[in-house]
Amino acid sequence: MNKMDLSKFTAKLYKIIKEDKIIKENKTVREHTDDLLNNLEFLNDLGYINKEAIYNLTKIACEYHDYGKVNREFQNRIKNETKFNEEKEIAHNVLSLYFINPDDFEEEKDYYRVCFAVLYHHYYCDGLKVLSEKNDLIENLLSEFETYELDEFTPMEIGDIKSDDEAILIKGFLNKCDFSASGNTEIEYKNDFLEESLEGLLNSWKIDNKDAKWNELQQFAKNNRDNNIMVVAQTGMGKTEAGLHWIGNNKGFFILPLKTAINAIYNRVSNDIVKENNNEEKHKVALIHSDSLSYYISQNEDTNIVLDHHREGKQLSIPISIATLDQIFDFVFKYKGYEVKLATLSYSKVVIDEIQMYSADLLAYLILGIKTIIRLGGKVAILTATLAPFVKDLLLEDNNKLGFVEGTFVNELKRHNLKIYDDKINADVIYNKYIDNKEKKISNKILVVCNTIKKAQEIYNELKDKNIDNLNILHSKFIKRDRAYKEEQILEFGKTNNIGDGIWISTQIVEASLDIDFDYLFTELSDINALFQRLGRCNRKGVKPAYDYNCYVFLQIERNLLTNGDKGFIDKKIYELSKEALRNVDGLLSEEEKVNIINRTLTTENIKGSDYWSKYTEFFDYVSGLNPYEVDKKDVKLRNIISFDIIPQCIYEKNESEIESLLEIINDEKTDKINRIKSIDKIKSFTVSVGQYDIELLKNKLIMELEVGKYERIPVYKCNYSELGFTRNTKEDVYDNFI
């Protein structure tokens, strides 16, 4: 590529670019452009741009992206503060193309790549349509300047290059540099601290145990920093530390399925490992999920720190991010602007934790995303307690084209002693075990995991009738305040060293989100993967003796839960395979035996023909076939689950005074942003999330709506809410009521 020669432009153009402050931030085009170029240089100095050609082409895109602003109509509009008039003006991103000399490029395709990045760095209009329909106005606006004509094929070539990997990266880097410059924020913070922080963690362990060292899993991750890795490691082996070791002093993302788990890991990494001080600016670890701003506010009183931290996290500027799948992997939908996320991921290391937790649709998005990230230069680590062979096969397609290095880490501990019942779960078996333990005066912490909220509520009622002293229930249909309190309680009760007496009844929300350690587990079967996750909530550390049964598994479940067309949520074929795999299990089950059961049961051959496989294929094919910008970002939903936050009438009446006071704060124009958010969050703590089916049942029971924002209202409904949480009057709807 020839070096950029800017001397050819007229003195008038130079004057406008250098002297006229026609950028909204009261900067000249030259000042703003230099900000972009400095950002690009910083990324390059960090080693984040993998190819010199990408760097050089992005540099050209940065230089010319705003030259179109020199046209007189744009200047007049900025100076007079008037609105864009499409009869008199052309969007500057379109006009900027005419300042790019096609002869400056050795490869014709490189010219089109840069034109694509410049044309689409904003979406004010249909750029290709404007190019074809408004030639006269374009010519008139640029008549004062020396420009270059676009030949008749250029618009078509620009349109065709949207899916080109290099074009995607050039546009992504241009957008990233531009967003940072326009927002006056750091484009990236350097990770020069994580490896040192991990050594500090190890040294703190050595205070109590001078022989402390990184285990085999963590050492494997450390030794394979330059590789994509696929690791199966049992619960409690330190996968978080392993993931951080693998990231090292690089930009990294931790992807987890549940917000509760994300908050816990964020706290641990930021407070115990990296040790960011709450009273200082935070530039090391970010939390990225739909409620992250509210979470930051709950942890820190400093308004500026909170807002800056949240903004930089959303801009993906912070070195280590703990995030949900939907916040990072939505790029697979190729909405307008998706390229900036992909450009960032092209130099990042992405840890996928607990891949077995994802449904068929999310797995499809995840695997397509993993393949895309690796293809563009990023690296991926799969760290999981169980890995189904069919998922492994999907990742290792084409003779391991993605280059995963595999590792399996299990120890000799036998934590779980299984008793299998070819029957439905029932309260009598649980009660008898509870009484037996009580008479023996041994630790008696019992966890019951059901497949649906309805079943959990039934078991709770049956045990309540038997006068259990310490009986509790936890599921997703409690108001947020009650659920948070219950989670605190179960975490305290479920600590390994706590000797307790009581029963907690829950659903799949305890499978991965809560670090709890019970003495005994009673659970329904859903599938083998979920079962082994549930086992991890019992004798988690393996320090309790397991000579007698400590895990009781009930194979029979309600048939309406099994998939049948559009009904059910437990895959029928996978359930039947899991049931057969467990039929002859009795007694101690080692970690290695668990891995072997998974490997024998969930093979590609066995899974093909299942509803899960059909859904996976359908979603993967759909999202793979999307064209860039075909889907609007507001329509992107990784999960096709519709939910509504409502306040039960009894909760409103009980807390009416507090709620009304909070509404006054929210609607007071003098209230600052942080206090408004705090007040909205407090009102939302009285809400419970319900499904579409629930709303239909409650349509005649709307009491009022609380206005908590210009476009947001929270309905208050007359509905059943008690110590059981939200309950229905009508029969179970299995889609909305299973966690």
| 143-176 confidence digits (pLDDT tens) | 988 899 999 899 999 999 999 999 999 999 999 9
State the average pLDDT over residues 282-309: 86
Q: What average pLDDT does the segment 262-270 reach?
A: 91
Closest residue by Cα to residue 169 from 126, 128, 114, 125? 114
In 460-550, DSSP assigns E strands to 471-473, 501-506, 520-524
**Helix pair angle (528-535, 572-582), 10° resolution:** 60
Question: What pLDDT score was predicted for residue 1?
Answer: 43
CB 120 within 8 A of CB 104: no
Q: How far is CA 37 from CA 15, 49, 187, in A?
A: 20, 14, 12
Q: What is the model's pLDDT at position 501?
A: 94
Residue type, 451: N
Query: Helix, strand or coil for residue 460?
Result: helix
Query: Which of 640 and 404 is assigned the larger pLDDT?
Result: 404
Close Cβ partners of 690 (under 8 Å, ≥ 6 residues apart): 477, 643, 644, 646, 698, 726, 736
Cα 450 to Cα 536: distance, rounded to the nearest angstrom: 15
Q: What is the 3-state secondary structure (H, E, C) of 401-455?
A: CCCEEEEEECCCCCCEEEEEECCCCCHHHHHHHHHHHHHHCCCEEEEEECCCHHH
Q: How far apart are CA 739 and CA 483, in angstroms?
A: 13
The tokens for 248 are 């090292």
Give which of 560, 661, 558, 285 is closest to 295, Cα–Cα.
Answer: 285
pLDDT in tens, 119-133: 999 998 888 998 888
pLDDT tens, 168-181? 999 999 999 999 99
Does residue 420 have a pLDDT over 80?
Answer: yes
pLDDT confidence band for 739 (50 / 70 / 90): low
Lowest mean pLDDT of 17-26, 114-123, 254-263, 448-457, name the range: 17-26
What proportion of the chain, given as a percentage, has pLDDT over 90?
Answer: 74
Q: Is the pLDDT confidence value at 10 over 80?
A: no
How large is the C-alpha radius of gyration of the chain?
29
Residue with the larger pLDDT of the pair 327 and 640: 327
pLDDT value, residue 278: 54
Q: How many angstroms separate the CA atoms of 501 and 489, rounded?
A: 13
What is the predicted pLDDT for the residue at 81? 84
Burial of 588 (0-12, 13-18, 19+ CB in 10 A): middle
Q: Quote the DSSP letter at residue 729.
A: S
Among 255-269, 272-286, 365-379, which range has the highest average pLDDT?
A: 365-379
- Give the list of residues 6+ apart from residue 130 with CB closer than 8 angstroms, or none: 90, 91, 94, 138
On the question of pLDDT at 223 being above 60, the answer is yes
Who contacts 59 (Cβ-Cβ below 8 Å, separation ≥6)?
4, 37, 40
Hey, is 291 helix, strand or coil?
A: coil
* pLDDT for the residue 412: 81
How many CB atoms are closer than 10 A to CB 56?
18
pLDDT digits (tens, 9 = 90+) for 612-633: 999 999 999 999 999 999 999 8
Report pLDDT digits (tens) over 336-357.
999 999 999 999 999 999 898 8
Please report the pLDDT score of residue 458 as a whole number.
Answer: 97
pLDDT digits (tens, 9 = 90+) for 532-583: 999 999 998 888 989 999 999 999 999 999 998 888 999 999 999 999 999 9
pLDDT at site 75: 86
In the predicted model, is pLDDT for residue 738 greater than 80? no
Q: Please give the Cα distance from 480 to 726 (Å, whole number).
A: 12
For residues 690-696, give the mean pLDDT: 89
Q: Is the pLDDT of residue 733 over 60?
A: no
Question: Cβ distance 334 to 629 under 8 Å?
Answer: yes
Q: pLDDT-derived band of residue 245, with 50, 70 and 90 as boundaries?
A: very high
* Side chain identity, residue 262: I
DSSP structure class, residue 97: G
Rounded mean pLDDT, 466-486: 95
Assigned token pair, 543: 């320090």
Rounded to the nearest integer, the mean pLDDT of the chain is: 91
Model confidence at 635, pLDDT cuts 50, 70, 90, reads: confident
Go through the domains of the chain in sequence order and give each one's CATH number: 11-183 (1.10.3210), 194-409 (3.40.50.300), 416-589 (3.40.50.300), 643-727 (no CATH)
Q: Which amino acid is at 232?
A: V
Residues 6+ apart with CB under 8 A from 416: 535, 538, 539, 546, 550, 551, 588, 589
The pLDDT, as a whole number, for residue 647 is 97
Instruction: Find, among 145, 167, 163, 162, the residue nearest to 70 by Cα.
Output: 145
Report the range of poorest mean pLDDT among 20-29, 32-41, 705-714.
Answer: 20-29
Q: Angle at the Cα of 98 (from 92 to 99), degrees rounded to 5?
A: 95
Extract the tokens encoding 452: 């649906």
Round to whole Å and give the CA distance between 24 and 75: 11
- Tell me the mean pLDDT in the region 493-520: 90
Cβ-contact 644, 690 below 8 angstroms: yes
Judging by DSSP bridges, how do beta strands 587-589 and 416-421 pair with one another?
Answer: antiparallel
Strand order in the sheet with 643-648: 688-691, 643-648, 712-717, 702-709
pLDDT of residue 198: 96
Asked whether the beta carbons of 524 and 557 are under 8 A apart, the reply is yes
**Among 619, 459, 436, 586, residue whose Cα is nearest residue 523:** 459
pTM: 0.92
Q: What is the pLDDT of residue 340?
A: 98
Q: What type of residue is 522?
A: F
Mean predicted confidence (pLDDT) in 93-116? 96
- What's the rounded Cα separation, in Å, for the pair 173 and 168? 9
Which among 736, 696, 357, 360 has a CA at the least distance from the CA of 567? Answer: 736
* β-bridge partners, 727: 720
* Residues belonging to the chain: 739
CA distance 81 to 73: 12
Residue 297 neighbours by CB under 8 Å, 6+ apart? 306, 674, 677, 678, 681
pLDDT-derived band at 14, boundaries 50, 70, 90:
low
CA–CA separation, 245 and 225 (whole Å): 8
Q: What is the pLDDT of residues 591-603, one digit of tens each?
A: 999 999 999 999 9
Which contacts of 200-207 are long-range, i.e. CB under 8 A and separated by 24 or more positions? 200/273, 200/275, 201/241, 201/272, 201/273
* For residue 2, pLDDT beyond 90: no
3-state secondary structure of 261: helix
Task: Determine the Cα–Cα distance for residues 193 and 191; give it in Å rounded to an integer.
Answer: 6
